[in-house]
């Protein structure tokens, strides 16, 4: 699976890349200002980087991707995502989510 991760948190980035690549997935790192080109199966956005304009732009660029918001335990879940990953998370939490993502129905219609 080709994954785009939007985060500015080096710890999340390192944990995410190590876990996903161990599973055989390809990860590209982006920021709000710099979104890599490609065709991604899944887009993970750290809540610290989230804004409505970013999500709308990503859904235009990658309309068939599954969208996951990385949230803190007390954060409200934002509508428009297929799944949520709560931090702090263990590598096994991420790997389980990556396993089930391809089977989720998409919720990525632009709002």
- Cα–Cα dist 106/82, whole Å: 6
Task: Name the pTM for this structure.
Answer: 0.90
pLDDT per residue as tens digits for the range 16-63: 999 988 889 999 999 988 899 989 999 999 999 999 999 999 999 999
Residue 19 has a CB neighbour count (10 Å cut-off) of 20
Span 3-16, mean pLDDT? 93
Q: Which residues pair with 29 in a beta bridge?
A: 5
The answer to whether the CB of 45 falls within 8 A of the CB of 54 is yes
């Amino acid at each position: 699976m080709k994954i785009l991760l939007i985060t500015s948190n080096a710890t999340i980035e390192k944990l995410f890349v190590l876990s996903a690549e161990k599973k055989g997935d390809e990860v590209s790192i982006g920021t709000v200002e710099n979104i890599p080109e490609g065709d991604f199966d899944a887009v993970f956005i750290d809540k610290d980087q989230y804004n409505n304009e970013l999500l709308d732009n990503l859904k235009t660029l990658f309309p068939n991707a599954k969208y996951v918001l990385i949230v803190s335990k007390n954060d409200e879940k934002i509508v428009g995502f297929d799944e949520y990953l709560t931090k702090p998370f263990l590598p096994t939490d991420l790997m389980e989510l990556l396993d089930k993502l391809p089977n989720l129905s998409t919720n990525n219609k632009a709002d």
